[in-house]
């Protein structure tokens, strides 16, 4: 591609063009060529030598993407406005307005250079990597396609919330107590830290299939969750099938096509410790099975299904209750009766409160 095109077909009597820029416009120019003085400017009017340095830009890009897993990529670029203006001018003056722009030529050639070196394919429609060159500074930014990971997690340690909450010592500013993360221990923090360590990436966003209290255990097959990792360096193939993470066990980790727009229905097997007053007939708790109405605000209440209920008395004022409930059933309110009818309190005819509840299994949303 080097230097001004002194032996190429002339397209303008006053302006010198390098072979790359001349080739772009000459191939689309209408009418006979105009002679070009071979002794004119040694520097291309349009690119000012930019197209001669594409090899260096390709090397910068190749270095930046060397740590990424990918099969396809595309190249974009930012050019100086003055370069784009001169390119528009020369294409207009020569009747070659339909010729490829300098930006298209640059990204196309760099893409071909990179493809030859990496044996990876350029895909402008749906690439794994997007390489963004900034020719003003000779720099490069890489953006990778997000990875969505599906998994289930179990939680065997109480006192850990599902979602991140601000550190109580620094109110989210970051301190030695929280490892300068700004948040205390959480399932979200544990899983996000692991995924970023294994896959790289900028951040992780979770879509939870239900939730639990900080003091609740999650057992059985675990709770399903979708994790969207933004700008990862590696694919989900870098993840093991399962791993143990300080009281959290993640299993069934695999790549997902995406986060469902609407999560499929699920059911939970819950074990609830209920405290009560008076002397109720605990056998009545079995009548709770069936549909319950849950007030969710103004308008029509939602309906949730409660499956078979089993119980076992624990003390003079408490019993343990196992039930299969539809996903989204508010467990504490199901016991107290606040906005839920029928409830444990209403069927027993006495005031009841949820002392603790655990998830024995999450059924569905496999």
In a domain, 4, yes or no: no
Residue in 123, 134, 213, 361 annotated catalytic? 213
- Cβ 350 vs Cβ 211: under 8 Å: no
132, pLDDT greater than 90: yes
- Cβ 216 vs Cβ 356: under 8 Å: yes
Last residue of a domain, one of 92, 117, 144: 144
Please give the tally of structural domains in the chain: 3
Mean predicted confidence (pLDDT) in 191-215: 95
Length of the chain: 366
What pLDDT does residue 13 have? 52
Q: Which domain holds residue 226?
A: 147-256
Residues 73 and 164 occupy one common structural domain: no
CATH of the domain at 185: 3.30.70.2510
In a domain, 63, yes or no: yes
Q: Which residues of 190-220 are buried (b: 16+ CB within 10 A; e: fewer)?
A: bbbebbbebbbbeebebebbbebbbebbbbe
Mean pLDDT of all residues belonging to the chain? 88
Last residue of a domain, one of 120, 144, 168: 144
Percent of the chain scored above 90 by pLDDT? 70
Q: What is the pTM of this model?
A: 0.82
In a domain, 123, yes or no: yes
Residues 350 and 280 occupy one common structural domain: yes
Residues 191 and 244 occupy one common structural domain: yes
* CA 259 – CA 229 distance, rounded (Å): 11
What pLDDT does residue 342 have? 95
Each residue's pLDDT tens digit, 41-61: 347 889 988 998 899 999 999
Residues 160 and 68 occupy one common structural domain: no
* CA 193 – CA 298 distance, rounded (Å): 39
In a domain, 186, yes or no: yes
User: Is the four-CA dihedral 234, 238, 239, 241 of positive or negative sign?
Assistant: positive
* CA 230 – CA 254 distance, rounded (Å): 16
Each residue's pLDDT tens digit, 270-281: 999 999 999 999
Residues 140 and 152 occupy one common structural domain: no
Last residue of a domain, one of 102, 121, 144: 144
Helices (H) and strands (E) counted in the chain, each on its own, are 7, 15
Q: Is 98 exposed, middle or buried (0-12, 13-18, 19+ CB in 10 A)?
A: exposed
In a domain, 175, yes or no: yes
Active site residue 213: yes
Residues 288 and 206 occupy one common structural domain: no
């Amino acid at each position: 591609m080097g230097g001004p095109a002194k032996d190429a077909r002339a397209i303008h009597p006053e302006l010198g063009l390098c072979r790359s820029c001349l080739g772009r416009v000459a191939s689309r120019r209408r009418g006979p060529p105009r002679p070009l003085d071979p002794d004119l400017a040694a520097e291309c009017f349009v690119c000012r030598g930019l197209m001669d340095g594409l090899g260096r830009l390709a090397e910068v890009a190749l270095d930046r993407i060397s740590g990424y897993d990918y099969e396809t990529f595309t190249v974009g670029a930012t050019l100086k406005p003055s370069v784009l203006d001169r390119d528009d001018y020369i294409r207009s003056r020569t009747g070659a307005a339909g010729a490829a722009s300098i930006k298209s030529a640059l990204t196309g050639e760099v893409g071909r250079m990179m493809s030859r070196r990496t044996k990876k394919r350029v895909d402008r429609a749906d690439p794994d990597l997007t390489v963004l060159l900034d020719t003003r500074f000779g720099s490069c930014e890489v953006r990778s396609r997000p990875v969505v990971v599906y998994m289930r997690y179990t939680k065997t340690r109480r006192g850990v919330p599902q979602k991140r909450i601000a550190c109580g010592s620094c109110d989210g500013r970051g301190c030695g107590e929280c490892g300068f993360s700004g948040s205390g221990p959480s399932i979200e923090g544990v899983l996000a830290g692991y995924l970023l360590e294994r896959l790289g990436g900028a951040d992780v966003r979770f879509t939870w299939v239900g939730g639990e209290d900080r003091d609740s255990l999650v057992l059985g097959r675990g709770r399903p969750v979708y994790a969207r990792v933004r700008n990862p360096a590696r694919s989900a193939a870098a993840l093991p099938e399962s791993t143990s993470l300080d009281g959290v066990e993640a299993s069934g980790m695999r790549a997902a096509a995406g986060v469902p727009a609407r999560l499929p229905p699920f059911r939970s097997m819950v074990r609830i410790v209920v405290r009560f007053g008076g002397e109720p007939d605990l056998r009545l708790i079995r009548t709770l099975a069936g549909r319950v109405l849950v007030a969710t605000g103004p308008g029509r209440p939602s309906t949730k299904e409660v499956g078979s209920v089993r119980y076992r008395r624990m003390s003079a004022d408490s019993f343990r209750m196992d039930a299969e409930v539809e996903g989204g059933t508010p467990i504490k309110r199901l016991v107290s009766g606040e906005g839920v009818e029928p409830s444990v309190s209403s069927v027993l005819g006495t005031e009841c409160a949820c002392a603790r509840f655990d998830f024995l299994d999450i059924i569905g949303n496999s």
